[in-house]
Structure 1
């Protein structure tokens, strides 16, 4: 007889940031309820996010191969049946998860699903009759799913992943020095509507790099981003391009050792937040009111476009929609303000 009172399948297939948001929820869940067993269903590339939680079992959804289509999802449900699940917490609520849940219900498994707040998000981003108000944070929407299963969960004091040990060779390679402060910068995002203009980001890096007590690590992926970041690091001795240098798990270990991360409204901010790293974000077509601000972030760590000039913001939840004339909203965010605010929080004695 298992000592676990419940075995919960937690579904979040993608995207990276959304999967990362689930990590502190599961950390808090397991700390609060040590007798729970948790299995996570996600895509293979995100399995590494749960490598730091050895008590969590991960099942990879191979949605492009053996778990593709209706037949593939049925096969996945048969594989999951062998795990003796008692409940399903669907944190995704998309067609794939709905089909899978149908099969799992036939096995007698209880299912609860996230309320994404689609209607209120539409009201927040529409151009006519916009309702501009803060919506429930995504992390609380995730927690609500577990509460609806009947599990008490207090996210006012969330549990995060601990700092990870870095190999001595990597510390040497990146000139880690206990006397220095470490800042990560992730200047890219999936959609252009969330990316701070390159010339302005270079100004931020230039100003921050003048502080020789600060090491700056640039994160990105793909050939174009890597090429750009390598060019950005060249003028400075304390700026390092991380893109393409290490595997993903090593990058995560590095992120866990940062004092802060500057990111767009993108997955990198949530990767840092799952290690309780301070996160600064620059916003464009999206807005923190939609509920995607990183865990623990305060308003003074957010850089927002001027809504007196661009009152229709936010125009999108994901940054994939732009309104005519709104292409340059992020140019209302002064790079000097970004650098100064980060410096004041990282080096308060200097200000």
Structure 2
């Protein structure tokens, strides 16, 4: 573009992790164009993932439960704002509809759909290099003079949420002076979930060796898993799955000495908060771009399987019916990785 933008819109409608992965882009946009008004369009259900971002001047929410009339309303609203730069880092049919014909310069990010399809379907790896998703977002605007600053993801916890969680932990007799192990054993798809009994094994070892207090996080869909785990824990625990908001989950993570998680939005949240994180990956691989890259995060995976990746977002069942990608990641591996991270 030939002039400095005055009004910028970034579109990323979902989900938690993808929105958090946009935080370096937002920081660098504000640095590159400090005088521009920066807006962010997101689904209403994911507002908390962006609402406290200090680089965003305005958050626009889309209520997808209201159907087509809401989509038309938001498109009309966008058109009236006279944005001169739109960055579509969602790049799907809905975002295409929202940005087309607005009159702004539009940039969208590469999803490498063909490379992804060939890798998953035929195991043909045509990726020239492994590019994390947050860097793909930056790549989409490289011609604007924006380059990675290496500072990673970021997130700001609301003070009120921090105060509420501090009270919750105090009421549950959690001590900030003792080791707090946080677990997120859920995930949107079954194949992305490490085995509950493995979480139990690792947690109980931390209880034995560090007198750990165990804090469990997740949404209401994870309660069956967390209750299975807490029934077998030997130490002091608190299960907050389905009980607190995303912002309160972020506040809870700030109290953790270690976070063990599957590939979830909470994983990216912990990384953004600089919490020491062990992430267990099963059916997906680093080429797909979602492995954490921060020095305070380690990935544990079964890298020797030729059937990986079998999906890019997870699935209900293992297509090979053996689920070796998760079953063969044993608790000892996760504990050893955690010990290295804590050393």
Q: Could you say which TM-score interval applies, normalised by the shorter chain?
A: 0.7 to 0.9
Change (3 A) 1:114 1:210: same
- Shift of the alpha carbon at 1:175? 4.2
Change (3 A) 1:314 1:297: farther
User: Aligned residue for 2:334?
Assistant: 338
Moved more, 89-98 or 205-214: 205-214
Change (3 A) 1:11 1:304: same
User: Aligned residue for 1:16?
Assistant: 16
Q: Partner of 1:111: helix, strand, or coil? A: strand
Structure 2 Cα separation of the partners of residues 206 and 134 of structure 1: 39
Q: Partner of 1:45: helix, strand, or coil? A: helix
* Structure 1 gap ranges (5+): none
Q: Do the aligned residues in 2 keep the contact of 1:77 with 1:103 (CA within 8 Å)?
A: no
* Structure 2 gap ranges (5+): none
Pair 1:260-2:258 in alignment: yes
Q: Do the aligned residues in 1 keep the contact of 2:259 with 2:270 (CA within 8 Å)?
A: yes
User: Aligned residue for 1:81?
Assistant: 79
User: Aligned residue for 1:186?
Assistant: 184
User: Aligned residue for 1:61?
Assistant: 62
CA RMSD of aligned residues (A): 2.6
Change (3 A) 1:180 1:163: farther
Q: Partner of 1:251: helix, strand, or coil? A: helix
- Shift of the alpha carbon at 1:183? 3.1
Pair 1:204-2:191 in alignment: no
Q: How many residues align?
A: 333
Pair 1:160-2:154 in alignment: yes
- Shift of the alpha carbon at 1:178? 4.2
Q: TM-score, normalised by structure 2?
A: 0.86
Instruction: Identify the match of residue 112 of structure 1 among 94, 107, 114.
Output: 107
Moved more, 111-120 or 286-295: 286-295
Alignment of 1:1-351 (within 5 A): 5-31=5-31, 33-54=33-54, 56=56, 57-65=58-66, 68-69=67-68, 72-104=70-102, 108-127=103-122, 129-131=124-126, 134-148=129-143, 150-158=144-152, 160-162=154-156, 165=159, 166-167=162-163, 168-222=166-220, 225-234=222-231, 235-296=233-294, 301-307=298-304, 310-320=305-315, 322-346=318-342, 348=343
Moved more, 195-204 or 236-245: 236-245
Change (3 A) 1:81 1:247: same
1:2-28 alpha-carbon deviations (Å, 9 max, x no partner): xx9532111111122111211243234
Structure 2 Cα separation of the partners of residues 88 and 260 of structure 1: 38
- Shift of the alpha carbon at 1:58? 0.8
Q: TM-score, normalised by structure 1?
A: 0.85
- Shift of the alpha carbon at 1:220? 1.5
Change (3 A) 1:277 1:37: farther
Q: Do the aligned residues in 1 keep the contact of 2:191 with 2:314 (CA within 8 Å)?
A: yes
Structure 2 Cα separation of the partners of residues 30 and 257 of structure 1: 30
Q: Do the aligned residues in 2 keep the contact of 1:263 with 1:279 (CA within 8 Å)?
A: yes
Structure 2 Cα separation of the partners of residues 190 and 184 of structure 1: 19
- Shift of the alpha carbon at 1:64? 2.6
